[in-house]
Amino acid sequence: MEAPKSTLPYPPIHDKSKVVVLSDWDGTITMTDTNDHLTDNLGFGFEKRRALNLEVLAGRKSFRDAFREMLESVNMPLDECIKLLKQNIQIDPTFKKFYEWCKTHAVPLVIVSSGMEPIIRAVFESTVGVESSEVDIICNSIKVNENGKFEILFRHPESGYGHDKSQAILPYRSLPHKPILFFFGDGVSDLSAAQHADVLFAKDKPDGENDLAAYCTNMGIKHLTFKHFEEALPIVASVVEGRATVEDVLKASPI
């Protein structure tokens, strides 16, 4: 299958690394999905948003089209949305330790998101306390209209995913040394990436919106569930330090 055309550039891949961590942002690193927060509180609300997610999970609607509907329902200028999110969104309290461990051990951490770059960078800096330029962020873009309202500009507008996250992973599969790839995700935007990681971590969230884990179970994709990054860190470290193999850690997969 031909790769979808990207309207946005990609950062260089980490072709010298033996291990690469790729992670979704919303609902995985953040405790609350920023786009869900906007839709639920400023758009058409939780019930319609959740119904659309379930339509995507069932294969009856593309994520791109459902996500566009959600964002179009938000009637607030971008700068006010960012201000609201910076006031209300928190990250996994153990993520920063995970991030610092990766940095200390020269393990690249790449954020792969279906969100929009200005929002991700603003919330990343306010919550992690680190300049967002220090981390690669592969995501969608944004267009701000004269009235301040915004619309999403998809990285892969011809793809039903809008942003086909597998395209951030697959270049590593063409490298001669084939680095070990960890991917962290939580929901329907992560479905395209699910089968391409060596070790897939699916978020187990208290609100029960564990769509990625449900998809993996239904499709027979091995995965590990986690509530916080501190649970994943010993597993990642054991592989990086050579104390365990990918096959060893996947023995804990629920399928």
**pLDDT 10s digits, 1-13:** 688 999 999 999 9
The verdict on residue 7 lying in a domain is no
Higher pLDDT, 173 or 208: 173
Q: Do residues 123 and 86 make contact, with C-beta atoms less than 8 angstroms apart?
A: yes
The verdict on residue 108 lying in a domain is yes
The verdict on residue 126 lying in a domain is yes
Q: What is the 3-state secondary structure (H, E, C) of 100-128?
A: HHHHHCCCCEEEEEEEEHHHHHHHHHHHH
Nearest to 117 by CA among 39, 11, 209, 210: 11
Q: Do residues 232 and 197 make contact, with C-beta atoms less than 8 angstroms apart?
A: no
User: Domain of 35?
Assistant: 19-252
Does pLDDT of 38 surpass 80? yes
Q: Specify the DSSP element, H or E, that contains 208.
A: none
Q: Do residues 186 and 206 make contact, with C-beta atoms less than 8 angstroms apart?
A: no
CATH number of the domain encompassing residue 75: 3.40.50.1000
Query: How confident is the model at residue 214, as a pLDDT?
Result: 92
b/e burial code for range 95-121 (CB count within 10 A of at least 16 → b)? bbebbebbeeeebbbbbbbbbbbbbbb
Q: Do residues 125 and 153 make contact, with C-beta atoms less than 8 angstroms apart?
A: no
The token pair that represents 159 in the structure block: 């793809």
- pLDDT tens per residue across span 12-36: 999 999 999 999 999 999 999 999 9
* Annotation says 26 is catalytic: yes
Q: Which of 15, 24, 79, 204 is catalytic?
A: 24
**How far apart are the two ends of the chain, measured CA to CA in Å?**
28
Q: Flag the least confident range among 40-44, 86-90, 207-211.
A: 207-211
The verdict on residue 159 lying in a domain is yes
Distance from the Cα of residue 123 to its chain's centroid: 14
How many domains, in total, are found in the chain? 1
Backbone angles phi, psi at 232, to 5 degrees: -85, -30
- pLDDT tens per residue across span 228-247: 999 999 999 999 999 999 99
Q: Flag the least confident range among 68-72, 137-141, 188-192.
A: 188-192
Query: How confident is the model at residue 136, as a pLDDT?
Result: 98
Query: How confident is the model at residue 199, as a pLDDT?
Result: 98
The verdict on residue 4 lying in a domain is no
The token pair that represents 255 in the structure block: 């399928």
In the predicted model, what is the mean pLDDT of the chain? 96
Query: How confident is the model at residue 207, as a pLDDT?
Result: 84
- pLDDT tens per residue across span 129-177: 999 999 999 999 999 998 888 999 999 999 999 999 999 999 999 999 9
The verdict on residue 153 lying in a domain is yes
Q: Specify the DSSP element, H or E, that contains 223.
A: none
Q: What is the mean pLDDT of residues 93-103?
A: 98
The SS3 of residue 225 is strand
Whole-model pTM: value is: 0.96
Instruction: Give the sheet arrangement for strand 19-23, strand by strand.
Output: 150-153, 136-144, 109-116, 19-23, 180-185, 199-203, 224-226
Query: How confident is the model at residue 1, as a pLDDT?
Result: 66
Nearest to 123 by CA among 107, 115, 231: 115
Alpha-carbon span 216 to 195, nearest angstrom: 9
The verdict on residue 77 lying in a domain is yes
Query: How confident is the model at residue 147, as a pLDDT?
Result: 86
Does pLDDT of 41 surpass 90? yes
The verdict on residue 14 lying in a domain is no
Alpha-carbon span 71 to 162, nearest angstrom: 13
